[in-house]
Structure 1
Amino acid sequence: MTLATTTYRLLPEWHPQDGIQLTWPRHDGDWAPLLERIEATLERIVIATARYQDVLICVPDERTKDRLAATFDAYGVPASSLQLIVAPTDDTWARDHGPISVVDNDGQLAMLDYIFTGWGGKFPAERDNLLTQRLADAGVWACPVTARDFVLEGGGIETDGEGTLLTTDACLLNPNRNPTLSRAAVEAQLGEDFGVDRVLWLANGHLEGDDTDSHIDTLARFCDPTTIAYVRCDDPNDPHYPALAAMEKELQAFRQRSGAPYRLIPLPWPQACFDPDDGHRLPATYANFLIINHAVLVPTYGDPADVTALQALALAFPERTLIPIECVSVIRQHGSLHCLTMQLPQCSLARGMPAKRSAGTD
């Protein structure tokens, strides 16, 4: 298919980065029963990432800001690698309320600010939806921010950086996102905003316990323009097996622009994880890894398949260091490592410009 395109190009995750964005949990938010555990996981993400690039953290109040500054100083994280910005938020999922970065034909970076509705109105999201613009008003960004009248989350799209976008029917065509738009209209929007001329749609694949309506970053990920890592279920008795087997066949049928098949790297299927309080299944997935400069952060679950996942991703990223991050607590709130983060490409952060003390209030 050929889509209408503009001068914009959606950047792949492996594009050189200034840093990543995190949103720290509020003490009175959904993470309250697990606050110490999720903070420990976020601390590990910061420590690992700060070895390679900066970390922007949106924090709920000045007290948390001061506490984290002291904590990371004690861990030996350079203060120059951190930006702590006070800003009101609803939750922690920066992948879905953070900015999506594009470049124009002159290589100039811009950020697109999409409407975030808490995955189709499932959860409060008003403050998260305002966050990108509040950070712009606080002087955090070094590039312009443009609002888009379109519901979209960063976890719902993957790109090879060369004009191809990978996504799922269940998310982008869900009537809880942009109910008046047809598939063709959604594709036209993606072509206009991201300069893509090919959209690869997955009609199959889901994870129990997932609130996102099958975000692609839980199922299949571009590792480079010719390689896709994807979740494979090898247990015929697992309820996920039929849909993920059908998804695998779809991926095998996809072709690169050249007509060649993609190099497919299957990721292992961890043992079923269940919430200890009410017993519902949790969405553990190794596809929710994060690519940063010179490294890949990989979610682990205290499962024997953790090692197999790291070995598989080592094939996809032979020149990057793989860093396991334990994410058992993260899936208790139905996300994982990639969902917590948003990469910020080079020229995103106004490093030389002192940001204001906070990014606004309610």
Structure 2
Amino acid sequence: MSEKGFRMPPEWAPHARTWMAWPSSGYTLGDDPDEARRTWAAVASAIVAFEPVTMVVDPGAVEVAGRHLDPRVEVVQAPLNDAWMRDIGPTFVLDGSGGLAAVDWVFNGWGGQEWAAWEHDAQIARFVAGRAGVPVVDSPLVNEGGGLHVDGAGTVLVTRTVQLDPGRNPDWDEARVEAELERTLGARRVIWLERGLTRDYDEFGTRGHVDIVATFSAPGTVLVHRQDDRDHPDHEVSRGVADQLRAEGLTVIEVPAPRFTHDEHGPVDYSYINHSLVNGGVVLCAFGEEAADTRAAAIMAEAYPGRRIELVDARPLFARGGGIHCITQQEPAV
């Protein structure tokens, strides 16, 4: 346990709000900037029906953001390089007295990717903490919020290709990472997955974020991506993850991927695991396949009883390297 009793609550615990960042530059805008803007706005609109949303917007993009965003979304201004709030924002934790704090990981563009810039994004965790009015817990670990999942009871999921990535933490070993996760998140058990999904190792990938592979839905229970197409490399990857987590004593609920498996760049990583939990709801990726989307929604409704499932087309997000969970970051209620 941390010397101050820091503990990261599970994502299904009550939220004060969700934080997001507005796409305003770089590859995230892509060849169709309005598609990106519509998609980020659609996610914000889905979430704000359940809880407050605060959108960090680059000062040069405030006008265009205002044309797309639901008026209920709060806008605050700060310079941005990109728009993946899960990774550039803080990881909120509770201290031993029940107060809120914000862990500021080192952010270096997902391991110093050649295409990435992060001089502004590396400051966003501290900016968000200041807006939330909570103290900052500095960490020397190069890490991102999409690279971990917690059950709220001391277990953390990570992947070896992220926290042990030579581009992130070349001098760290498992023991040092685990000690830092204990200090900052209250981790008592760290489960190391070998890797993430195949597409995540392409040019614009994160090198294996866990939040597209597996997530806790309750203490001791995990939702795991399942790729049924034997010609897709993630068929074996997802089977291996499910087998490992069962061997760890966890209850595994497999969530089948859509039938669409390849685009012009190769095997896709379409995954329903990359969803956002909100107060009373689940904002779930949709992929334009009614049968698969409906099946995933039914699994989520059973996994998170009493929550309303809202589907948002996430294909434009995945085309840019992420999903709904990747562009959101919850602030727990205290």
Q: TM-score, normalised by structure 2?
A: 0.92
Alpha carbons 1:5, 1:195 under 8 Å: kept: no
Alpha carbons 1:205, 1:246 under 8 Å: kept: no
SS in 2 for 1:287: coil
Shift of 1:99: 0.5
Shift of 1:40: 1.2
Match of 1:285 among 271, 282, 285: 271
1:158 corresponding residue in structure 2: 149
Shift of 1:83: 2.2
1:55 corresponding residue in structure 2: 53
Shift of 1:30: 3.8
More deviation in 21-30 or 330-339? Answer: 21-30
1:350 corresponding residue in structure 2: none
Match of 1:17 among 12, 15, 22: 15
Shift of 1:71: 4.5
Alpha carbons 1:228, 1:265 under 8 Å: kept: yes
1:36-55 matches, cutoff 5 A: 36-55=34-53
Alpha carbons 2:106, 2:142 under 8 Å: kept: yes
Return the alpha-carbon distance in structure 2 between the equivalents of residues 92 and 222 of structure 1.
25
Return the alpha-carbon distance in structure 1 between the equivalents of residues 238 and 2 of structure 2.
32
Alpha carbons 1:219, 1:230 under 8 Å: kept: yes
2:239 corresponding residue in structure 1: 245
2:82 corresponding residue in structure 1: 91
Return the alpha-carbon distance in structure 2 between the equivalents of residues 119 and 128 of structure 1.
11
1:228 aligns with 2:219: no
Match of 2:122 among 129, 134, 142: 129
1:309 corresponding residue in structure 2: 296
Q: 1:88 to 1:169 in 2, by over 3 A?
A: same
Match of 1:109 among 95, 100, 106: 100
Return the alpha-carbon distance in structure 2 between the equivalents of residues 85 and 310 of structure 1.
32
Residue by residue over 1:21-52, the C-alpha shift from the partner in whole angstroms, topping out at 9 and shown as x without a partner, is: 11111156541422111111112112111112
Shift of 1:235: 2.2
Q: 1:287 to 1:207 in 2, by over 3 A?
A: farther
RMSD: 2.0
SS in 2 for 1:229: strand
2:166 corresponding residue in structure 1: 175
Return the alpha-carbon distance in structure 2 between the equivalents of residues 213 and 53 of structure 1.
31
SS in 1 for 2:131: coil
Amino acid at match of 2:126: Q
Return the alpha-carbon distance in structure 2 between the equivalents of residues 245 and 32 of structure 1.
33
Return the alpha-carbon distance in structure 2 between the equivalents of residues 194 and 170 of structure 1.
20
More deviation in 89-98 or 30-39? Answer: 30-39
Shift of 1:105: 1.6
Match of 1:331 among 314, 318, 321: 318
Shift of 1:17: 0.8
SS in 1 for 2:138: strand
In our comparison, the structure showing a higher alpha carbon Rg is 1
SS in 2 for 1:126: coil
SS in 2 for 1:176: coil
Shift of 1:157: 0.7
1:355 corresponding residue in structure 2: none
SS in 2 for 1:43: helix
Q: TM-score, normalised by structure 1?
A: 0.85
Match of 1:188 among 174, 179, 183: 179
Q: How many residues align?
A: 328
Match of 1:298 among 269, 281, 284: 284
Alpha carbons 2:15, 2:330 under 8 Å: kept: yes
Percent identity over the alignment is 30
Q: 1:238 to 1:26 in 2, by over 3 A?
A: same
Match of 1:267 among 250, 255, 263: 255
Q: 1:292 to 1:4 in 2, by over 3 A?
A: closer
Residue by residue over 1:308-351, the C-alpha shift from the partner in whole angstroms, topping out at 9 and shown as x without a partner, is: 1111111101210010010111111111111011111125xxxx
